[in-house]
Structure 1
Amino acid sequence: RAFIDAHVLGFEAYARAVEAWTPQHCESVTGVPAHEVEALARELGTVKPLTICAGFGMQRYTNSGQTMRAILALLAITGNLGRPGAGWVYANLQSDVFSAVKDPLDFFPPERPDGVARVSLSTARLGRDMAAQSGPPLKAAWVERGNPVSQNPDTARVREAFRALEFRVVVDERLTDTAREADLVLPAKSLFEQTDVIGAYWHPYLQIRPKLVEPPGEVKPESEILWQLALRMGLATDGLVAPGGEEAWLEAKLGRFPGLTLEALREGPVLAPGCEEVAFADLAFPTPSGRIELLSEEAARRWSVDPLPGFTAPLESSPGAYPLTLLTPNHKNSIHSQFVTLSCLRDPGPRLHLGPGDAAARGIRQGDRVRVFNARGELFLPANLDLSLLPGCVVAFNGYGAGHGGSVNLLSLGRETDMAHGAAFHDNLVDVEKAP
């Protein structure tokens, strides 16, 4: 209680708000048995230090921001912040080394009156935002290190927006769904053909990814393509990587941090600078009050949500014409649409996973070709009966595209989460039928 009094704002209001959430009420909403809710509460209240890793799944609904706030509140009221081994595991790059990755605008020049303009588009609403952009209107697209037609929500609208452009360039090593929409496809090197320094979502270590082979034929790294393009357009090459200068560029970036060199990384992974410290060890928090704000007027002002963490049902959560919730997680063998073309990794390929009860109600058997559909689109996949799934829930792993039954995002709607501009991929109701 001393931690709450000193470092938490809004505890009393939050305590009153959660009184209605008895274990029995939690069970009625979530399906988690009341005795398991009680057991979890005892663990959360007694285990110290405690770290929570929420992952991405719950962050892909229209109510995910408030859901994350509610989970974070558990750490606040149990005093599990600011101490070793306690806290929250964020999926990010966690290092100033990758500041330009966390904010892609770091790569772009400032706005200039001669026509350089910065425009921010929602990744969740990419298709609609591209079509609606008028100041200035979008005329062309340059796409690299991404496959938005397949991987962004609402594939049909994203494809339509790309087709409306006057010119489309895609730099990729594979003929992805996005590359198929391009006027010009420039072959890019693979991850084995250029030295790089990489981080990871779920650990704070940096690693070197050494160049193993030369790119074949006329294939060039993206960095060299941009260099050559700048020269041909008469633009300055300041900040760009000169051909053959990749390792020197990396050394310069790492040089800000004592002892962090490519040579050190060749010896093994290195803890990223800034990750040795315990987060919030001084118990000073970057909020208006300087405390953990369970009651946050800033959240209400910025995102138009309740100042207190609370539950609002996802927008697509009431079964009607489409009674099944479709989850579209990543597969363990791929990263979105990367690596799905490798037959050694994708076996047995894309499938729709559904429970035996939902399958029997629709006359579907193992291996049947099924149509998954809603008002937004459809895709065709073989069925896989999965005893682990709850009734009313089906799963299709994301990453596959037009050549493998269709992208799961033919079924998703381009809309954001309640906070932080995320994409509500899992807020998605569908139905399934046996395909003719």
Structure 2
Amino acid sequence: ILQHTKNPDKFIALLLSYPLQRLVDACDVSLKEVKQLFEIYAGDKPVASVVGSGLQRYSYGGENVRFINALAMISGNIGISGGGSYFHLHSYRNLNLNWLEPEKRQPRRSFPLCTIGKDILAAADPAVKMIWVNCINIVNQAPDSQRIIRAFEGVEFKVVVDAFWNDTAQQADLVLPAKLMLEQEDIIGSFLHEYVHYVAQIIEAPGQARDDYWILSELGKRLEPPIRLPAKNTALRSALKSAYIDTSLEQLRRQKCVCAERPGIAYEGLQFNHHDKKYRFPAMLHAEPMPPPEYPLRLLTLVRRGAQHSQILPNRRKKSPDVWIAPDCPALADLDLSKAVVLISPLGCLKVTVYTLPGLYPEAVLYRRGDWINQGGGANQLIEANPTDIGSGAAFYHQFVNLENVKETS
């Protein structure tokens, strides 16, 4: 295995530089649990490592994932059937999007989502004069929501294309109602598998809702000079002209899905996508930043089961967010749950209802993200806009908070 890696001696030296007990303590697990994990990976059966969505949301999130990949690699579980390390795929990777590329690309700026509010405010020469938001509730879903609102307020004209009157739509000068998935014909890939699916329209969209392609086509016609997009069926056919799928639009309409022709085993023969075909181990292991004394709890804003992020139906919205802590959470010693409680960070506070949930980590606060700011929620108002070590991702789970009773005023 090591002959298929670059600088393996440095990686092994890095690991051996840490006493085992120090690593066990840093992870807050027992030596028994470490040995159980070792026995699984050292066994004679393949092990598939499934990396959950969220491990990348820490300050060193990329490092987290790379060390899990390294465990899979060094234990012989990469490049074999039944092994592998699994995270998200790019949902468009099996479609052909080359037809979208302009003949001559104009210079452009790009702002990462994790610091979008700060970057819009700081933009100069020229300043941002217009914002077009297409089906993303960025005010609600990106860190430091209040700064994003201030950024939007300083821009002359904002257009939001969405199906919900959400926190971002409420900052717009113009809202264009968008069709949802089952209200239009489309082709979609997946983050989790290699199938491309046909999406049929099965219900009519309400009111004046239009699909994104119709909106952009009509806008393009009105520009000077005009930008004319191909007909929608032409665009769908172009997307299917991919090296990885063998189907036509008519076939896909009949068959409903097609599996991309990708290798059944990733990195078979331990050949990797570097010029020398060798695997790269992580070069460093950073210590996890410690919480400040006044904010001892880590805020985990996980997805909610009953909604896709902030796409929450009116009858499921609550005025006050719910949070969960462990029965042995140290914050409980100073809390009176019969009185009003606020969740606080350096950016502000939210009034919350606190419940206990056995099995949670004692120093964590669980918050199901996506609830709306105008309904009293919006966890990202409390989360500072910091990138992860990957660069473009947001360190959502680096945020430290506290729970306190609302101070009574005389």
TM-score (norm 1): 0.85
Q: Provide the residue aligned with 1:411 in structure 2.
A: 382
2:402 corresponds to 1:427: no
Cα pair distance change 1:75/1:360, threshold 3 Å: closer
The more displaced of 223-232 and 259-268 is 259-268
**1:74: which partner in 2?**
71
Letter in 2 for 1:249: A
Report what 1:298 is aligned to: none
Residue 307 of structure 2 aligns with which residue? 334
Kindly provide the CA deviation profile for residues 351-400 of structure 1, in whole angstroms up to 9, marking residues without a partner as x.
1111233353133337x642111111211222221112122111111111
| Structure 1 residues 262 and 163: CA distance shift in structure 2, 3 A | farther
Separation in 2, partners of 1:163, 1:320: 35
Of 350, 367, 378, which residue of structure 2 is paired with 1:396? 367
Query: Which amino acid counterpart does residue 387 of structure 2 have in structure 1?
Result: E
Superposition deviation, residue 18 in structure 1:
1.0
Instruction: Give the whole-Å Cα distance in 2 for the aligned partners of 1:99 and 1:412.
Output: 37
Q: How many residues align?
A: 404
- Which stretch shifts more, 394-403 or 171-180? 394-403
Q: Is the 8 A contact 1:95 1:274 kept in 2?
A: no
Do the aligned residues in 1 keep the contact of 2:96 with 2:240 (CA within 8 Å)? no
Partner of 2:265: 278
**Structure 1: which 4+ aligned runs deviate by more than 6 Å?**
346-349
Q: Give the Å deviation of 1:275.
A: 2.8
The CA distance in 1 between the partners of 2:76 and 2:102, in whole Å, is 41
Please show how residues 233-244 of structure 1 align to structure 2 within 5 Å: 233-238=223-228, 240=229, 242=231
2:149 corresponds to 1:159: yes
Does residue 62 in structure 1 map to residue 62 in structure 2? no
Task: Kindly indicate whether the alpha-carbon contact (under 8 Å) linking 1:415 and 1:423 is maintained by their aligned counterparts in 2.
Answer: yes
Describe how 1:97-136 pairs up with structure 2 within 5 A: 97-98=94-95, 100=97, 110-112=104-106, 117-136=107-126
1:321 matched residue in structure 2: 294
SS of equivalent to 1:12: helix
Q: Give the counterpart of 1:9 among 6, 9, 28.
A: 6
Paired with 1:55 and 1:262, the residues of 2 have a C-alpha distance of 36
**Any idea what the Cα deviations from partners look like across 1:254-302, whole Å, max 9, x if unmatched?**
144423545435434322x2434422224322224321122xxxxxxxx
Matched to 2:78, the amino acid is L
Partner residue, 1:290: 277
Q: Distance in 2 between matches of 1:237 and 1:194?
A: 23
Say if 1:135 and 1:72 are closer, same or farther in 2 by CA, change over 3 A: farther
SS in 2 for 1:328: strand
Q: Is the 8 A contact 2:96 2:241 kept in 1?
A: no
Distance in structure 2 (CA, Å) of the matches to 1:280 and 1:95:
21
**Offset of 1:12 from its aligned partner?**
1.8
Shift of 1:95: 5.1
> Structure 1 residue 434: deviation in Å?
2.6
Aligned to 1:365, which of 304, 329, 337? 337
CA distance in structure 2 between the aligned counterparts of 1:381 and 1:98, rounded to whole angstroms: 44
Conservation of the 8 A alpha-carbon contact between 1:139 and 1:165:
yes
Instruction: Tell me how far apart the structure 2 counterparts of residues 312 and 231 of structure 1 sit (CA, whole Å).
Output: 54
* Structure 2: runs of 5+ lacking an equivalent: none
SS at match of 1:79: coil
2:27 is equivalent to residue 30 of structure 1? yes
Output the amino acid matched with 1:70: F
Please give the secondary structure, in 1, of the residue aligned with 2:302.
coil
Specify whether residues 132 and 111 from structure 1 end up closer, same or farther in structure 2 by C-alpha distance, changes over 3 A only.
farther
AA aligned opposite 1:89: Y
Kindly report which structure 2 residues correspond to 1:192-231, keeping only aligned pairs within 5 A, or say none: 192-231=182-221
Counterpart for residue 299 of structure 1: none
CA separation of 1:25 and 1:108: change in aligned 2, threshold 3 A: farther
Provide the C-alpha distance between the structure 2 equivalents of 1:225 and 1:95, rounded to a whole number of angstroms. Answer: 21
Paired residue secondary structure (1:129):
helix
With structure 2 as the length reference, what TM-score do the two structures score?
0.90
User: What SS does structure 1 have at the residue aligned with 2:396?
Assistant: coil
What one-letter code is carried by the residue in structure 2 that aligns with 1:281? E
Q: Decide whether aligned partners of structure 1 residues 356 and 282 sit closer, same or farther in structure 2, where only a CA change above 3 A counts.
A: closer
Query: SS at the partner of 1:285?
Result: coil
Unaligned runs of 5+ residues in structure 1 are 295-306
Q: Offset at 1:118?
A: 1.5
Asked whether the equivalents of residues 224 and 241 of structure 1 are also in contact (C-alpha less than 8 Å), the reply is: no
Distance in 2 separating the partners of 1:95 and 1:143: 20
Cα distance in structure 2, aligned partners of 1:353 and 1:259: 48
Instruction: Judge which range, 74-83 or 16-25, deviates more.
Output: 16-25
Q: Deviations 1:3-37 (Å, cap 9, x if unpaired)?
A: 212x0122222112112444422231111111101
Tell me by how many angstroms 1:235 deviates.
4.1
Equivalent residue number for residue 308 of structure 1: 283
Deviation at 1:170, TM superposition (A): 0.6
Of 81, 85, 94, 1:84 maps to 81
Q: Could you tell me which of 259, 273, 295 is aligned with 2:247?
A: 259
Match of 2:90 in 1: 93
Cα distance per residue 1:319-373 (max 9 Å; x no partner): 41111111001112222212x22536x799841111233353133337x642111
1:181 alignment partner in structure 2? 171
What is the CA distance between 1:183 and its match in structure 2?
A: 0.8
The 3 A distance-change label for structure 1 pair 328 and 109 is farther
